[in-house]
Protein backbone atom coordinates (compact mmCIF):
# COMPACT_ATOMS: atom_id res chain seq x y z
CA UNK A 1 0.00 0.00 0.00
CA UNK A 2 2.86 2.33 -0.71
CA UNK A 3 3.60 5.18 -3.12
CA UNK A 4 3.85 2.83 -6.10
CA UNK A 5 0.08 2.46 -5.96
CA UNK A 6 -1.43 5.89 -5.50
CA UNK A 7 1.15 8.65 -6.04
CA UNK A 8 1.31 9.55 -2.37
CA UNK A 9 2.27 13.11 -1.61
CA UNK A 10 5.58 14.19 -0.18
CA UNK A 11 6.78 15.38 3.21
CA UNK A 12 5.95 19.02 2.71
CA UNK A 13 2.33 18.35 1.77
CA UNK A 14 1.24 17.14 5.19
CA UNK A 15 -0.84 14.08 5.94
CA UNK A 16 -4.18 15.87 5.83
CA UNK A 17 -3.31 19.21 4.26
CA UNK A 18 -5.38 18.47 1.15
CA UNK A 19 -8.49 16.34 0.63
CA UNK A 20 -7.74 12.63 0.43
CA UNK A 21 -7.85 11.35 -3.12
CA UNK A 22 -10.46 8.66 -3.76
CA UNK A 23 -7.89 6.43 -5.45
CA UNK A 24 -5.81 6.46 -2.25
CA UNK A 25 -8.86 5.28 -0.30
CA UNK A 26 -9.53 2.58 -2.90
CA UNK A 27 -5.97 1.32 -2.60
CA UNK A 28 -6.43 1.13 1.17
CA UNK A 29 -9.71 -0.78 0.76
CA UNK A 30 -8.13 -3.31 -1.58
CA UNK A 31 -5.11 -3.65 0.67
CA UNK A 32 -7.14 -4.19 3.83
CA UNK A 33 -10.15 -6.16 2.60
CA UNK A 34 -9.81 -7.54 -0.93
CA UNK A 35 -6.93 -9.96 -0.58
CA UNK A 36 -8.80 -12.08 1.95
CA UNK A 37 -11.64 -12.63 -0.54
CA UNK A 38 -9.64 -13.43 -3.65
CA UNK A 39 -8.44 -9.93 -4.50
CA UNK A 40 -11.69 -8.97 -6.25
CA UNK A 41 -14.43 -6.47 -5.33
CA UNK A 42 -17.56 -5.79 -7.35
CA UNK A 43 -18.17 -2.28 -8.60
CA UNK A 44 -21.40 -2.13 -6.60
CA UNK A 45 -19.68 -3.14 -3.36
CA UNK A 46 -16.90 -0.64 -3.90
CA UNK A 47 -19.38 2.17 -4.55
CA UNK A 48 -21.18 1.37 -1.29
CA UNK A 49 -17.92 1.24 0.67
CA UNK A 50 -16.79 4.56 -0.74
CA UNK A 51 -20.19 6.11 -0.02
CA UNK A 52 -19.49 5.40 3.65
CA UNK A 53 -16.39 7.58 3.20
CA UNK A 54 -18.40 10.39 1.61
CA UNK A 55 -17.26 9.73 -1.98
CA UNK A 56 -19.88 9.72 -4.73
CA UNK A 57 -20.19 7.20 -7.55
CA UNK A 58 -18.68 9.33 -10.38
CA UNK A 59 -15.57 9.97 -8.29
CA UNK A 60 -15.25 6.25 -7.56
CA UNK A 61 -15.50 5.31 -11.22
CA UNK A 62 -12.97 7.97 -12.20
CA UNK A 63 -10.49 6.77 -9.56
CA UNK A 64 -10.95 3.12 -10.55
CA UNK A 65 -10.36 3.99 -14.21
CA UNK A 66 -7.09 5.67 -13.30
CA UNK A 67 -5.93 2.68 -11.28
CA UNK A 68 -6.91 0.43 -14.19
CA UNK A 69 -4.88 2.54 -16.64
CA UNK A 70 -1.88 2.23 -14.35
CA UNK A 71 -2.15 -1.55 -14.47
CA UNK A 72 -3.05 -1.96 -10.81
CA UNK A 73 -6.65 -3.15 -11.18
CA UNK A 74 -7.90 -5.61 -13.80
CA UNK A 75 -11.57 -5.57 -14.88
CA UNK A 76 -13.19 -8.93 -14.26
CA UNK A 77 -16.74 -10.25 -14.07
CA UNK A 78 -17.69 -12.88 -11.50
CA UNK A 79 -21.12 -14.47 -11.28
CA UNK A 80 -22.40 -11.87 -13.71
CA UNK A 81 -21.15 -8.95 -11.62
CA UNK A 82 -18.73 -6.32 -12.88
CA UNK A 83 -15.74 -5.76 -10.66
CA UNK A 84 -12.01 -5.28 -10.42
CA UNK A 85 -9.26 -7.61 -9.26
CA UNK A 86 -5.79 -6.72 -8.08
CA UNK A 87 -3.14 -7.15 -10.77
CA UNK A 88 -0.05 -9.22 -10.10
CA UNK A 89 2.01 -6.05 -9.79
CA UNK A 90 -0.43 -4.56 -7.29
CA UNK A 91 -0.30 -7.71 -5.17
CA UNK A 92 3.49 -7.54 -5.08
CA UNK A 93 3.53 -3.88 -4.09
CA UNK A 94 0.87 -4.42 -1.42
CA UNK A 95 2.96 -7.21 0.10
CA UNK A 96 5.98 -4.90 0.17
CA UNK A 97 3.86 -2.21 1.77
CA UNK A 98 2.60 -4.53 4.50
CA UNK A 99 6.13 -4.97 5.78
CA UNK A 100 6.56 -1.22 6.14
CA UNK A 101 3.10 -0.19 7.29
CA UNK A 102 2.31 -2.81 9.92
CA UNK A 103 5.79 -3.56 11.25
CA UNK A 104 7.74 -1.34 13.64
CA UNK A 105 11.27 -1.90 12.37
CA UNK A 106 13.93 0.23 14.01
CA UNK A 107 17.61 0.20 13.05
CA UNK A 108 20.56 -0.30 15.36
CA UNK A 109 23.88 1.48 15.03
CA UNK A 110 25.64 -1.88 14.83
CA UNK A 111 23.97 -2.84 11.53
CA UNK A 112 25.67 0.01 9.65
CA UNK A 113 24.41 1.72 6.52
CA UNK A 114 23.64 1.13 2.88
CA UNK A 115 24.88 3.68 0.37
CA UNK A 116 23.25 4.20 -3.01
CA UNK A 117 25.52 5.92 -5.55
CA UNK A 118 23.90 6.60 -8.90
CA UNK A 119 24.60 8.21 -12.23
CA UNK A 120 21.95 8.65 -14.92
CA UNK A 121 22.79 9.92 -18.44
CA UNK A 122 21.34 13.30 -19.37
CA UNK A 123 19.43 11.62 -22.18
CA UNK A 124 17.50 9.66 -19.54
CA UNK A 125 17.02 12.39 -16.96
CA UNK A 126 13.39 11.38 -16.43
CA UNK A 127 14.79 8.21 -14.86
CA UNK A 128 16.97 10.36 -12.61
CA UNK A 129 13.84 11.97 -11.20
CA UNK A 130 12.17 8.57 -10.78
CA UNK A 131 15.24 7.17 -9.05
CA UNK A 132 15.52 10.08 -6.62
CA UNK A 133 11.82 9.87 -5.85
CA UNK A 134 12.00 6.13 -5.27
CA UNK A 135 15.03 6.38 -2.99
CA UNK A 136 13.22 9.03 -1.00
CA UNK A 137 10.18 6.79 -0.62
CA UNK A 138 12.45 3.97 0.49
CA UNK A 139 13.59 6.20 3.35
CA UNK A 140 16.97 7.35 2.00
CA UNK A 141 18.58 10.60 3.05
CA UNK A 142 20.89 12.74 0.93
CA UNK A 143 24.60 12.88 1.76
CA UNK A 144 25.64 14.67 -1.45
CA UNK A 145 25.01 14.78 -5.16
CA UNK A 146 24.25 11.26 -6.30
CA UNK A 147 25.05 9.75 -2.88
CA UNK A 148 22.15 8.61 -0.69
CA UNK A 149 22.21 6.77 2.64
CA UNK A 150 19.84 4.56 4.61
CA UNK A 151 20.07 2.19 7.58
CA UNK A 152 21.48 -1.20 6.62
CA UNK A 153 18.17 -3.04 7.11
CA UNK A 154 16.80 -1.35 3.96
CA UNK A 155 19.38 -2.96 1.64
CA UNK A 156 17.28 -5.96 0.55
CA UNK A 157 14.15 -3.87 0.03
CA UNK A 158 16.17 -1.41 -2.04
CA UNK A 159 17.46 -4.16 -4.31
CA UNK A 160 13.96 -5.55 -4.78
CA UNK A 161 12.25 -2.24 -5.53
CA UNK A 162 14.91 -0.80 -7.84
CA UNK A 163 15.09 -4.09 -9.72
CA UNK A 164 11.31 -4.21 -10.18
CA UNK A 165 11.31 -0.64 -11.52
CA UNK A 166 14.16 -1.27 -13.99
CA UNK A 167 16.50 1.17 -12.22
CA UNK A 168 19.17 -1.24 -10.97
CA UNK A 169 21.60 -0.53 -13.82
CA UNK A 170 21.99 3.08 -12.71
CA UNK A 171 22.82 2.40 -9.07
CA UNK A 172 25.71 0.93 -7.10
CA UNK A 173 24.88 -0.20 -3.57
CA UNK A 174 27.46 -0.45 -0.77
CA UNK A 175 27.45 -1.59 2.83
CA UNK A 176 29.13 1.07 4.96
CA UNK A 177 30.15 2.19 8.45
CA UNK A 178 30.30 5.83 9.49
CA UNK A 179 33.95 6.82 10.07
CA UNK A 180 33.52 10.57 9.87
CA UNK A 181 34.65 13.28 12.26
CA UNK A 182 31.30 14.90 13.01
CA UNK A 183 28.67 13.80 15.48
CA UNK A 184 26.53 11.15 13.76
CA UNK A 185 23.28 12.36 15.32
CA UNK A 186 23.92 15.88 14.02
CA UNK A 187 24.81 14.50 10.58
CA UNK A 188 21.62 12.44 10.41
CA UNK A 189 19.61 15.61 10.98
CA UNK A 190 21.15 17.04 7.79
CA UNK A 191 20.64 13.88 5.71
CA UNK A 192 16.92 13.65 6.52
CA UNK A 193 14.24 16.25 7.18
CA UNK A 194 13.50 14.89 10.63
CA UNK A 195 11.68 18.07 11.66
CA UNK A 196 9.33 17.75 8.70
CA UNK A 197 8.72 14.07 9.42
CA UNK A 198 8.15 14.80 13.10
CA UNK A 199 5.53 17.39 12.12
CA UNK A 200 3.72 14.79 9.98
CA UNK A 201 3.69 12.36 12.87
CA UNK A 202 2.34 15.06 15.18
CA UNK A 203 -0.38 15.91 12.66
CA UNK A 204 -1.38 12.26 12.43
CA UNK A 205 -1.54 11.89 16.21
CA UNK A 206 -3.50 15.12 16.63
CA UNK A 207 -6.03 13.87 14.09
CA UNK A 208 -6.43 10.22 15.04
CA UNK A 209 -5.63 10.33 18.75
CA UNK A 210 -9.17 11.65 19.43
CA UNK A 211 -10.62 8.86 17.27
CA UNK A 212 -8.76 6.29 19.36
CA UNK A 213 -10.03 7.95 22.54
CA UNK A 214 -13.63 7.76 21.24
CA UNK A 215 -13.34 4.03 20.56
CA UNK A 216 -11.74 3.42 23.95
CA UNK A 217 -14.58 5.34 25.61
CA UNK A 218 -17.21 3.42 23.63
CA UNK A 219 -15.72 0.12 24.71
CA UNK A 220 -15.54 1.30 28.31
CA UNK A 221 -19.26 2.06 28.18
CA UNK A 222 -19.98 -1.34 26.67
CA UNK A 223 -21.10 0.25 23.41
CA UNK A 224 -18.73 -1.73 21.22
CA UNK A 225 -16.34 -4.28 22.71
CA UNK A 226 -17.54 -7.63 21.39
CA UNK A 227 -19.29 -6.05 18.41
CA UNK A 228 -19.84 -2.42 17.47
CA UNK A 229 -23.45 -1.44 16.69
CA UNK A 230 -22.05 0.53 13.77
CA UNK A 231 -19.37 -1.45 12.00
CA UNK A 232 -19.61 1.13 9.23
CA UNK A 233 -18.22 3.79 11.55
CA UNK A 234 -15.31 1.50 12.37
CA UNK A 235 -14.76 0.93 8.65
CA UNK A 236 -14.68 4.68 7.93
CA UNK A 237 -12.25 5.44 10.76
CA UNK A 238 -10.07 2.45 9.87
CA UNK A 239 -9.75 3.36 6.18
CA UNK A 240 -9.07 7.01 7.05
CA UNK A 241 -6.34 6.10 9.55
CA UNK A 242 -4.58 3.59 7.30
CA UNK A 243 -4.77 5.94 4.29
CA UNK A 244 -3.20 8.76 6.30
CA UNK A 245 -0.61 6.54 7.97
CA UNK A 246 0.66 4.31 5.21
CA UNK A 247 2.89 6.90 3.51
CA UNK A 248 4.70 7.82 6.72
CA UNK A 249 6.69 4.57 7.17
CA UNK A 250 7.98 5.03 3.60
CA UNK A 251 9.39 8.44 4.51
CA UNK A 252 10.81 7.25 7.83
CA UNK A 253 14.19 5.49 7.49
CA UNK A 254 13.71 3.82 10.87
CA UNK A 255 16.83 5.36 12.39
CA UNK A 256 18.36 3.96 15.56
CA UNK A 257 16.84 5.60 18.68
CA UNK A 258 20.20 7.23 19.51
CA UNK A 259 19.94 9.33 16.34
CA UNK A 260 16.42 10.65 16.90
CA UNK A 261 15.38 13.87 18.65
CA UNK A 262 14.50 13.41 22.29
CA UNK A 263 10.87 14.45 21.79
CA UNK A 264 10.38 12.36 18.62
CA UNK A 265 6.65 12.09 17.80
CA UNK A 266 7.06 9.01 15.64
CA UNK A 267 6.78 6.68 18.62
CA UNK A 268 3.56 8.21 19.94
CA UNK A 269 2.00 8.36 16.46
CA UNK A 270 2.89 4.71 15.84
CA UNK A 271 1.32 3.72 19.17
CA UNK A 272 -1.87 5.55 18.15
CA UNK A 273 -1.99 3.96 14.71
CA UNK A 274 -1.31 0.39 15.77
CA UNK A 275 -3.79 0.46 18.64
CA UNK A 276 -6.49 2.01 16.44
CA UNK A 277 -5.78 -0.55 13.71
CA UNK A 278 -6.03 -3.38 16.24
CA UNK A 279 -9.33 -2.12 17.68
CA UNK A 280 -11.02 -1.41 14.34
CA UNK A 281 -9.76 -4.31 12.24
CA UNK A 282 -12.47 -6.81 13.18
CA UNK A 283 -15.56 -4.55 12.93
CA UNK A 284 -14.36 -2.95 9.70
CA UNK A 285 -13.73 -6.41 8.23
CA UNK A 286 -17.31 -7.35 9.14
CA UNK A 287 -18.66 -4.27 7.39
CA UNK A 288 -16.62 -4.84 4.24
CA UNK A 289 -17.51 -8.54 4.14
CA UNK A 290 -21.21 -7.78 4.46
CA UNK A 291 -21.04 -5.62 1.31
CA UNK A 292 -18.82 -7.98 -0.66
CA UNK A 293 -21.20 -10.88 -0.07
CA UNK A 294 -24.53 -9.05 -0.33
CA UNK A 295 -24.27 -6.21 -2.85
CA UNK A 296 -25.98 -7.01 -6.15
CA UNK A 297 -25.71 -3.76 -8.07
CA UNK A 298 -25.21 -4.53 -11.80
CA UNK A 299 -22.63 -2.13 -13.19
CA UNK A 300 -20.25 -1.57 -16.04
CA UNK A 301 -17.06 0.41 -15.79
Domain boundaries, the chain: 3-97, 113-176, 193-288
Tell me what pLDDT residue 157 has: 92
pLDDT in tens, 137-178: 999 999 988 899 999 999 999 999 999 889 999 999 999 999
Domain covering 3-97, topology: Arc Repressor Mutant, subunit A (1.10.10)
Are 36 and 277 in contact by the 8 Å Cβ rule? The answer is no
Tell me what pLDDT residue 10 has: 38
User: What's the whole-model pTM score?
Assistant: 0.86
- Ranking 36-45, 52-61, 263-272, 289-298 by mean pLDDT, the lowest is 289-298
Are 227 and 4 in contact by the 8 Å Cβ rule? The answer is no
Q: Mean pLDDT throughout 92-111?
A: 90
Q: State how far the Cα of 275 lies from the Cα of 273, in Å rounded to an integer.
A: 6
Q: Mean pLDDT throughout 220-241?
A: 75
pLDDT band at 122 (very low <50, low <70, confident <90, very high): confident
pLDDT at position 267 over 60: yes
Residue 273 burial (10 A CB sphere; 0-12, 13-18, 19+): buried
pLDDT at position 11 over 70: no
Tell me what pLDDT residue 218 has: 82
Tell me what pLDDT residue 262 has: 86
Which CATH code for domain 113-176?
A: 3.30.70
Nearest to 277 by CA among 253, 244, 250: 244
Are 15 and 203 in contact by the 8 Å Cβ rule? The answer is yes
Tell me what pLDDT residue 6 has: 60
Tell me what pLDDT residue 13 has: 44
Tell me what pLDDT residue 125 has: 81
The DSSP code sequence of 89-101 is HHHHHHHHHHHHH
Amino acid sequence: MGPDLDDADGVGDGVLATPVRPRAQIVTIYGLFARGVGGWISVGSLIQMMARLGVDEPAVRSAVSRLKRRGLLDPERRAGRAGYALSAVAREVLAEGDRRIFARTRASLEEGWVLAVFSVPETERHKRHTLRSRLRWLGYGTVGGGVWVAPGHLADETRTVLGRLGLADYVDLFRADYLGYKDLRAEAATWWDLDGLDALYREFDDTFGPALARWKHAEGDGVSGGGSPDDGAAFADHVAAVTAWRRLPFLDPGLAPELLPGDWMGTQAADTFHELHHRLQQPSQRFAASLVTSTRLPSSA
